[in-house]
A and B are shown apart, each in its own frame.
Chain A
Amino acid sequence: MSKIIVEERSIVIPGEILAEGMDFLPGDNTFRENNQIYSKVLGLANISGRVIKITPLSGPYVPKAGDKIIGKVTDIAFSGWRVDTATAYSAMLNVKDATSRFIRKEEDLSKILAIGDYIVVMITNVTSQNLIDLTMKEPGLHKISGGRIININSQKVPRVIGKKGSMISLIKQNTGCDITVGQNGLIWLKGSPDGEFLAEKAIKLIENKSHQEGLTEKIEQFLEKNKVNN
């Protein structure tokens, strides 16, 4: 007999039995042992047809090629910069990927990017050794100046962006801020001080309530309410 033990959108912990029997398939963050499907992580159960998967509630950011992230320059090497990407792995930004301008041999690299600068970059490659290659030459990638950077749980990034960017454009419209969300959980806000503060609060609210239903309406209400006060 096959049966599902957990309910849709219920919170599960690692090792919890999700389903019994061979009629169901283990999806993301789950595994099968003997006749049972177990959860690997703390998260929300998601049942679609025969597949059971878990949307994690927390956990580290795992770098993926093509992700736009926000990093911090931590070191200047011979031909590039070492970047802290808030992952467990080391990332390099090569000179040729940083600027399209010609760089002379003796040029001072700290004039282009200094230690401590924050940059919006894209991951071009993650090697089998988990070394990350970055680029800053795609459109929308640049060095950050001004504004503020906040840090959220990287697993909540999809909720902050929303379906087709609906959530983030809602916040942008209501606060008048420029917002860049890095997949690694760093978010850059730039606007008026009041706008930045409101946007930060809204994003923290999303982070805390991401697993609840009707999130967009809640955020809409929150932004509407605080806008009047300003």
Chain B
Amino acid sequence: MIVNKDTIAQLAKENRRLDNRSLTEFRSPIEIETNISWTAEGSAKVRIGETVVMAGVKLSIEKPYNDTPDEGGIMVNAELTPLSSPEYEPGPPGMKAIELARVTDRGIREAKAIDMKKLCIIPGEKAWFVIVDIITINDAGNLFDAAGLATLTALKSAKYPVVDKETGAIDYKQKTDIPLPLTKEPLPITVYKINGSLLVDPTSEEEKTYDARLTVASDSDGTISALQKGGNMPLTIDELSKMLDIALEKSNFLREELNKALNV
């Protein structure tokens, strides 16, 4: 909406937002639910305000890649379903879906969050591959953060299926108690720049107005594992360091929310 667009930009200059949140405040409620699917090895549903995203983890045994014979792998796929927003059409994934999947993938992969060597069963022959599917249920803005949170939650909740020792066949109907070899907990936070102000957790209207955005994936000790810049406008060094500060702070906030939800 163009009318809202001007108003958003104007308000951002005064450090205010359409819904009266402060610039670095996430929407509430933040709800995290695990094991929503019994067919997946791990699954999660995350709600940030009105945005709802589901993620599922499937495990399969494949032949390792030739250049990394003693490692498993991870694949992330995202689908922006037509039910989540009037802007999305059925069909092959578009730019936005591919970016969402790749940014989420990079956050997990480059943090070395999963110990790939432990996924290997027989070097050069058999290794576990982790397949993550992200599905949007409702897009009310900030899909990056919601998808990253859902993916991490699903990975944390995933349990290996039972493997038949003689035939090597996987029985997906039975699960073991062994979780994935997760070593870190990277979470992406996207900081948006609108009219000179930096803000997090945009609504879909704010997402249409932004000048630039930066997705920062960082783990609990503050190590940054991945960055993704979007938008047409440049960022100054000063802005960049401010954005990183906000992202690190907010990723700890989301991680606390995640731990709270998982401990209940």
Q: Contact partner of A148 among B14, B16, B18, CB < 8 A?
A: B18
Question: Is A193's CB under 8 angstroms from B11's CB?
Answer: yes
Q: Mark A52-72, 1 if CB is under 8 A from B, else 0.
A: 000000000000000000001
CB proximity to A under 8 Å, residues B7-48: 7, 11, 14, 16, 18-20
Q: Is B204 an interface residue (CB 8 A)?
A: no
Q: Is B264 an interface residue (CB 8 A)?
A: no
Question: Is A144's CB under 8 angstroms from B16's CB?
Answer: no
Main secondary structure of the interface of A (DSSP, over half): mixed
Q: Is B3 an interface residue (CB 8 A)?
A: yes
Cα(A145)–Cα(B20), bound, Å: 21
Question: Is B20's CB under 8 angstroms from A149's CB?
Answer: no
Q: Mark A129-146, 1 if CB is under 8 A from B, else 0.
A: 000000000000000111
Q: Is A81 an interface residue (CB 8 A)?
A: no
Within 8 Å CB of A117, what residues of B? 2
Q: Is A31 an interface residue (CB 8 A)?
A: no
Residue of A whose beta carbon sits closest to that of B14 = A193
Question: Is B19's CB under 8 angstroms from A118's CB?
Answer: no
Question: Is B19's CB under 8 angstroms from A148's CB?
Answer: no
Cα(A145)–Cα(B16), bound, Å: 19
> Could you count the A-B residue pairs with CB atoms below 8 Å apart for me: how many are there?
31
Within 8 Å CB of B169, what residues of A? none
Q: Contact partner of B3 among A148, A194, A197, CB < 8 A?
A: A148
CB proximity to A under 8 Å, residues B169-202: none
Q: Contact partner of A116 among B2, B11, B18, CB < 8 A?
A: B2
Question: Is B4's CB under 8 angstroms from A149's CB?
Answer: yes
Cα(A117)–Cα(B4), bound, Å: 11
Contacts A117-B2, A118-B1, A118-B2: A197 and B20 contacting too (C-beta < 8 A)? yes
Q: Is B6 an interface residue (CB 8 A)?
A: yes
Q: Mark A95-125, 1 if CB is under 8 A from B, else 0.
A: 0000000000000000000001110000000
User: Contact residue range for chain A?
Assistant: 10 to 19
Question: Is B20's CB under 8 angstroms from A146's CB?
Answer: no
Q: Is A147 an interface residue (CB 8 A)?
A: yes
Q: Is A188 an interface residue (CB 8 A)?
A: yes
Q: Contact partner of A146 among B7, B14, B18, B19, CB < 8 A?
A: B7
Question: Is B3's CB under 8 angstroms from A145's CB?
Answer: yes
Residue of A whose beta carbon sits closest to that of B19 = A197
Question: Is A193's CB under 8 angstroms from B16's CB?
Answer: yes
| Minimum Cβ distance to chain A for residue B20 (Å) | 5
Q: List 14 A-B contacts (CB under 8 A).
A: A72-B1, A144-B3, A145-B3, A145-B6, A146-B3, A148-B1, A148-B4, A148-B7, A149-B3, A149-B4, A193-B16, A193-B20, A194-B20, A197-B19
Question: Is A188's CB under 8 angstroms from B3's CB?
Answer: yes
Within 8 Å CB of A193, what residues of B? 11, 14, 16, 20
Cα(A90)–Cα(B4), bound, Å: 24
| Minimum Cβ distance to chain B for residue A86 (Å) | 11
Residue of B whose beta carbon sits closest to that of A194 = B20
Going nearest first, the 3 A-B pairs with the smallest beta carbon separation are A116-B2, A197-B20, A148-B4
Residue of B whose beta carbon sits closest to that of A117 = B2
| Minimum Cβ distance to chain B for residue A169 (Å) | 23
Interface centre among A117, A146, A147, A148 (most CB of B within 10 A): A148
Within 8 Å CB of B7, what residues of A? 146-148
